[in-house]
Every structure is written in C-alpha cells, then in structure tokens.
Chain A
C-alpha cells in the first residue's frame, strides 16, 4: 500500500522557544487559538461600536462621555455627528464581517480542528499558515489604526460604494486616509485568507490519514473545505478591487469615479470611471463571503447536533451536496445586492432566479436538521442549545430572503431596516450562534477545561431572546418605511419609529451586556474550569481521540490514527457505550443513513 498522503510534506518539530511556541507558532492549533483570540477582541470592539450607535439612535441628543476619544475628528460636546455615526457603522460592519464572522468559524475552528478531524499532524504548509494569521492580524491593526489617523475611519459603509469611497477628502471626513487604510486592511485580509484557504484545501485533499475517505470526513470538515474553495476565488477578486480603489486614492486614477462628478460643490477632475464596476467587483466577492460566514456554522452545528442527538443526519451525502450547491450558486446570485444600484434590469431577473433557487439547498439543509431532530433524544447542553438557536435564527432570517430575492419587492425594502434585520439574523447572529456552539463544544479540547454549564445556559437564553427582541422589530419598522443608515429620524413620518428604536436600544444594551457572561465564562473556565476528560461529549470524530487534552504538538503522538468507520456511528452497541469512535477497530454493523 503506497502511502504518499501523510508524509508528502516535511513536518516541523516540536516548538523549541517561547516565540515559536506562542507567537510565531507553526502549530495549526496555536494559530487556531490566535485566530480565536483575534475574533474575540474584534467582536468586543464590534459590540461596543454597536452600543454607541444604538444609544444614538434611541436618544439622539444624548451626550456620551468620552466619545471624542474615539474619533480624531472629535465629537463636539460628546454629541455624535452624522459622520461619526456613519464611521461607527462602517467599522462595526467591517470588523464583524471580516474579523469575526470569517475568522472565528472558518479560520479559528477550521485551523484548530480540520487537521485533527482528518487525522493529520499539521497542515502541509505551516509557514503559510503562520503568515496567514499574522497578515490578517496586520490587517486588523491597519483597520483599527484608522480610528486614530487622519480624520478618523471611513464612513462609506462596509461595501465602500464608489464614487464616494474613491474621491478622497471631498466626500467627507475619513474618506481620504480612512478609506486607504480600510482598503489596505482588506487587501491584507484577502492575502491572509488566500493562504489559509490554500492550506485548508490541501490538508483536506492530501493529508487525510489512512482510512479517512472523503465521505468519512465529519460534516464540519466538509463545511470548512467547501468554504475554503469559495474563499479561494472570492478573496482573489476583492483583492484587485481594493488595489484599484487604493490607486484611485494615491495614484490619481479614476477607475470608480465617473466624469463630471460634482461633490460638495466641487467639480472633480476625474473622468471615465464606473461606479457600478466597483459594485460588480465587490459583490462578486461579497456574496460568496456571506456563505463563507455561514457555511462553517452549518458544519459546526451539524457536528454538534449529531453528537447531541446520538444519531447521524438523515443523509450525510445530501448535506454535503447541499452545502456544495450553496457554494456554486453563491457565485451566480451576487447581483441581488444591486437591485437598486441602477444595474441593467435584465440582469436583475438573471440574478433573482438563481437567488430563489439557492433557497432550495438552504431549505434542504434546514429540513435535514429538523428531520433528524424529530424523535431524537436530544442531550440538552449549551452547545446543542446554541445549535438549535442557529437553526432558529437561520430560518427566521432566511424566510425574509424569499421576499428580498425578488427585485420588485427588494426595490421597496432595500434601503430600509428590513434588510438590516434580515442579514443580521441570517448571517450575523446565526453565524455567531455557530461560533458559540463551537466554543462550548470544543473548548474542553482546546483548553483542557470544561466551560460552566449554568452560566452557558443563562447566556444562551438571554442571547436567544435578546436577539429576537432586537432584530424582529427591525423587520417591522423596515416594512413601515424606516430608512437605514440614517443617524436620526427627524422627518415627520419617521418620528413614530423613535419609541421602537428606544426599545431596540434597550434590548441591544441588555443583550450586549449578556455577552459579558460569556466573556466571564470563557476567561474563568480557561483558568479555573473543571478539568476536561478526553471525550466529554462521547463523540466519535478524531479530535476526541488525541492522547492528551489539549492535544500534543503533533496531535496524535507517535501513532497516527487509522479510521475504520463513517464519522457518526451513534446508537450502536459499542464497547464504550452507544457510540463507536472513528478510529476504533471494533467491527460493528455500520449505521447508515436512509438516503
């Protein structure tokens, strides 16, 4: 039997120095934790910014002490200016989308568990992996520094629509240096994620241990694999787009600035560019990005749920094919973000149709979860609760997607809070629930200690209820015509929404504060939690078979695991209980799904 797979690449030895062990580590587990830490810091910043925004939306004339510290442009009398509000909004979105929703479920958990779950010692290119994190980290620093450089961060929104993003200072504070820093940050992020994707794909294809056939990989591995295939080309398109945007700023070109543009009573010298070009390039990345954020969550949730249900999904294959179909279709639907952009109306139809089709695999995925849950004896713990919460959020947020997929309805709703509610639920909070589920599920393996279950459940219920309280009203006021991206609601017809906004603000502050429970739980359990057994959830996949907890530097010690079974052998007569681990050589009647 020739065994080219596991030993095709030179491996690194155990880390020798402190720096190699904790900072410039080549170990995928340390890099995964570093990504986790980065996402953790980023999400705290992101929540903090959303608090400031919500306070302002609820009580427009409220002076927030210390507000001027965050913006070099200043906030006169600690009152938020409209530009300040937009800056907060832009930074909130950029931080959350890129540095939380992409890094945590994909880069952090993927880095840590993908190689272990396929039975590899490490990724094939540990140096690329290290660079991937540090380049991403530099990107985060570049983004954060825009708070303190020039006249503050950009106010263009995370989509950075041209021409306002491309003309510099004339468009307002932060549109000069702020945009350049934003674009540099995203360019770096793209490079980092490209290196990461390269590693993920080669690990999945080439580093699987003996017996680990493709269909024997856990669903989380499939999700990360599919995500990295998407990321490979999506980030590759955003990168040149950002570079062209930088050129518009520093080289005087006008890729995205049309002729004869008058901004703030100045006629700009640019000519010949196209604003729609930016949107096409951006959303060609942007839509796959939505799936890059959510598909790892789907994998994590499936993995967690199956372990808690003690039975495999109705169909392993259909789940994989559906996630694959999401990935394929995600390239064909990006124009549904552009229905109101002045795009050719014929293209709107061409984008609307696949957008409606993409709901089919998404629905199949949800039905697979629900069908498998039906009649199962679910073990309730925080991880499985968050997995259920993910499904709930994904359905509630996804249903409004059916409306938004149709241009005629989207044109009415696109500029309102309806869209804000939609994407926060289906992509933002759902992915966050996936992250929480993964954290509670894998924390014992990552840090060798259990998280506090009581605090976890309190945190879950507060977050679950809080999320609906925040984002359902978004849908209602959106339908009623509340325009988004406004910092205050002065027109007569919008003043009636102010009480709703106050309600949402209170809910957001409380839900945000509930996250402190999680922060406390995380930090407290990290140092003083109950020591974790090797396999606390009685799960079957390889990450629970490591010789120690947390795993040693080469994951499996000297003996590489050999895989004998399909990933989810629950509900069988095994020697250890109702499950048989993938690397256990005992012969059993394989649990097969019905499909």
Chain B
C-alpha cells in the first residue's frame, strides 16, 4: 500500500459561473436535438429505425444535459467516470431480456407453425 494521499488536492475550477452564452448555446443545442426527434417521428421509416435514431438523439441530449447542465464536465474526471460508467453499466445490464419480448403474445412466434416445418 502506498502512503501517498489517495486524493490530490483539488482546485475547484470556476464551476457554475460559466458564461451565460455557453448555457444558452447548450440550451439551443438540446432544443434543436429535441426538435430533430419530432422531425424523425414524422419521417417515413419503420419503427425500429425510428427507435434507434431517437435513442441516439436522446442519449446525445442527455449527455449534453449531464455534462453542462449538471456540471459533470466541471467535476473531477473520476467522478464523471464513476457516474457515467456505473450508471451506463447498470442500464446496459438491464437489456438482457429483450429477446424474450417477442415470445409472449399468444406464445408467439411458437404457436404459428413456420412454413415448411413438419410437426413431429
């Protein structure tokens, strides 16, 4: 074990007193992204493509909000990593179940015999 302090003395940067112009810039970026979602909603692509694009945009919006509205960018990098990696990991681990979601309504797809499959 090392005797060095586990924490370096941290000079807080000039957090939370960012110029208002930066706040406005981020705000308009998020508004534009939100508007983009509405545009995608009216585009003529299938639902899964819509979902993917909307998810990406929502993550981008959330990222901007996390970094600049919630000031994660001004915190120590370790804290940013802790929040993003830990939360991201838990949320990703939650996605195991998706393949089962297609199998529930009336037992689908297994109640509809596949073409060409001979029942034993």
Contact = CB atoms under 8 A, between A and B. Distances in A.
Interface string B85-114: 010011001101101110111100000000
Given A214-B6, A215-B6, A592-B1, A276 B100 contact: yes
A260 B106 contact: yes
A344 B90 contact: no
A51 interface: no
Contacts, number: 61
Interface in A36-65: none
A229 B85 CA distance: 13
Contacts of A347: 96-97, 99-100
Contacts of A6: none
B99 A346 contact: yes
B82 to A, nearest CB: 10
A589 to B, nearest CB: 13
A280 interface: yes
A213 interface: yes
B5 interface: yes
Contacts of B2: 215
Given A274-B104, A331-B90, A350 B96 contact: yes
Interface in A271-297: 272-277, 280, 284
Contacts of A2: 9
Which one of B2, B93, B97, B101 has the highest number of Cβ atoms from chain A below 10 Å of its Cβ?
A: B97
A344 B94 CA distance: 15
Interface residues of A, number: 36
Given A274-B104, A275-B104, A335 B96 contact: yes
A274 B99 CA distance: 13
Which one of A284, A334, A344, A592 has the highest number of Cβ atoms from chain B below 10 Å of its Cβ?
A: A344
Interface residues of B, number: 20
A582 to B, nearest CB: 13
A351 interface: yes
Given A213-B6, A344-B99, A332 B104 contact: no
Contacts of A317: 1
Contacts of B89: 328, 331
A175 interface: no
Contacts of B5: 213
A535 interface: no
Which one of B7, B100, B106 has the highest number of Cβ atoms from chain A below 10 Å of its Cβ?
A: B100
Contacts of B94: 237, 284
Contacts of A346: 99
A316 B1 contact: yes
A397 to B, nearest CB: 25
A481 B105 CA distance: 33
A566 B100 contact: no
B41 to A, nearest CB: 24
Interface string A495-509: 000000000000000
A280 B6 contact: no
A273 B103 CA distance: 11
A366 B7 CA distance: 31
A258 interface: yes
Contacts of B96: 280, 334-335, 347, 350-351
Interface in A254-313: 258-260, 272-277, 280, 284
Interface string B1-34: 1100111010000000000000000000000000
Interface in B13-59: none
B81 to A, nearest CB: 14
A34 B65 CA distance: 41
B93 A331 contact: yes
Contacts of A273: 104
B32 to A, nearest CB: 32
A592 B106 CA distance: 63
A277 B6 CA distance: 43
A69 interface: no
Interface of A: 2, 213-216, 229, 233, 237, 258-260, 272-277, 280, 284, 316-317, 328, 331-332, 334-335, 342-344, 346-347, 350-351, 566, 590, 592
Shortest 4 CB-CB distances between A and B: which pairs?
A280-B97, A331-B93, A274-B104, A213-B6
Given A276-B103, A347-B100, 10 more contacts: A215-B6, A258-B105, A275-B104, A280-B100, A316-B1, A328-B89, A334-B96, A343-B100, A344-B99, A346-B99
Interface of B: 1-2, 5-7, 9, 86, 89-90, 93-94, 96-97, 99-101, 103-106
